[in-house]
Each structure stands twice: as C-alpha cells, then as structure tokens.
Amino acid sequence: MSRARFWRHACAAAVLLAACSRNPQPVAPAPAATDSAAARQRADSLAAAARRDSLAALARRDSLARAQAVADSLARAMAERARADSVRAQVLREPDSAAATLMPSGLEAARAATLAEPVHFELDRSDLTAEAQRRLDGKLAILRASPRLEIQIEGHCDERGPDEYNLALGNRRAAAAKRYLVEHGIDGARIGIISYGEERPADPGHTEESWARNRRAEFRLTRGVR
C-alpha cells in the first residue's frame, strides 16, 4: 500500500469514528397539550421523532459497522506496514539476530500438537492428499474453536529439485494448505504463509524416507488464544 493511500484510509476511518462517537441530536421537548388537536399534533410529532430516532439509530449502527470495518482494515494495513518496516529494519541489521520465538499457545497439549502436526506432499506436488486433508481437518476444529489463534504455514521441499524452483514450490504448498483452511471457513487474515524451499529440512538424510518427511507444510502459532 502506498503512503498516500494509507493516509487516505486513515483519515476516512478517523472521520467515521468521529461521526459515530458524536452524541445524537436531542429531540425538542413537546409543549403541553391543551386540546385534542394539539394532542394529535403532539402524537404525530412524537411518532415523527420516534421515526427519526430509529432511522438515526439505524444510521448509527450502519456507520458503526462501516467504521468498524474501516478500523479493521486500517489495523490490518498498519500491521502490514509494521511488518514491511520490520523487514526493512532487519535487512539493515546483520543476520541471525532474531531466532524464532516460541509462542505460548494457551492450548492444551493435545490440541497444540494437532495444530503443529505437519502436512506432507508428493514429489513436486502441491495438491493435498487425503491424509493431508485429514490433518488439516483436525486443525480446522481448533481454529474454529479458538478464533483468536493465528498461524503461519511454512512450505518446505526435499533437496532434489532446483533450489530456487523449490522456493516457489514450497510457497505453493503453504498456499494450498491455507486455501483449504480458508475454503472451510477460516478467515484468511489469520493465516500467513512463507516458503523455505529446501533450506530447512526436517530430516537431514538423503533417502526416500527423509525426502518424504521433508516435503511438508509446517504450522507455527503467531498468536495464542489469550
């Protein structure tokens, strides 16, 4: 997102938030009724005021929802910007500073293990096997039950393909796992993807078994239940 667009969004959100936090216009107090005509007039004006009130309430609800949506997208944009800023900051620093920190999941051990279980792929494939789908179904239940959880899916490859092609392949594998979760109702904003190609094997061996273990997607928590 460009800087200009970012600030347009920020301003729009600020205006909307200001609008909905303003107090509603007070309805003018009706004069005391002296006769039936006056009473009718008063009833009409009360009805009109009630209509105005409910319209105003509707409008308020609507603008609140809109403002909430804009605020959400603003928050996401700010998070994205913060991430981009940290990418730039990390490039300027020397390497190896930040090792992956372990996120306390707040999940009971069995559920945390199910969530972390890797999903495996066939050679040079990124489509999901029946077993991969079964494992993803296990994660679906946990993600649905704990809507605060956010994860990053890492795509990995075995060592046999070209290094750079494997980065694209790992990206496709992570994307395939994410797509499955999103198609089954998980908000895509909760799932990040990253590819490590063949750079981080789970098994350092050079056998068919090692390669099969290395063709995988891993699931890492980026936000716990609390």
Partner 1 sequence: MRRTLLAVLLLFPAPLRAQDTTRAPGGVRIGITYAPLTRASVAVVRTAAAPWLDSVRSIVERDLDQSDRFEIVQRPSAGDVQSLIASRAADYVVQVDTAAGGTRVLAIEVVTGRRVQQAQLPIAGIALPGGRRAVHRAADDIVRGVTGTPGVAATALLFVRGGRLMAVDADGYGAREVRAAGRPALSPAWSPDARWIAYTAFVPAGQPIVLQDLATGAREVVPATEYGLNITPAFSPDGRRLAFAHGTEAGTDLYVYDVARRCCVQRLTAGRGFADNLSPAWSPDGTRIAFISNRAGSPQLYVMAADGTGQEVLGRFDFGATGPTSSPAWSPDGSAIAFHREVGGVPQVFVLDLATRSVRQLTGAGRNEDPTWAPDGRHLAFVSDRSGAREIWVVDLETGRLRQVTNVGGARLPAWSPRLSASEGRE
Binding span for partner 1 by CB under 8 A among 18-26, 28-36, 86-94, 207-215: 86-94
DSSP codes, 110-167 = HHHHHHH--EE--TT--SPPHHHHHHHHHHHHHHHH-TT-EEEEEEE--SSS-HHHHH
DSSP state of 186: -
| Sheet with strand 119-120: strands edge to edge | 119-120, 216-223, 150-156, 191-197
Residue closer to partner 1, measured from CB, 7 or 165: 165
Residue closer to partner 1, measured from CB, 118 or 161: 161
Residue closer to partner 1, measured from CB, 28 or 102: 102
Residue closer to partner 1, measured from CB, 108 or 209: 209
Residues 177, 8: Cα–Cα separation, whole Å: 34
Per-residue mark of binding to partner 1, 25-64 (x: CB under 8 A): ----------------------------------------
161 binds partner 1 (CB under 8 A): yes
Contact yes or no for 222/103 (Cβ under 8 A): yes
- Residue in 16, 74, 128, 169 binding partner 1, rule: CB under 8 A: 169
Structure tokens at 174: 């992570």
Where along the sequence are the contacts to partner 1 (CB under 8 A)? Answer: 80, 83-84, 86-88, 90-96, 98, 100, 124, 126, 160-165, 167-169, 171-172, 175-176, 178-179, 193-196, 199
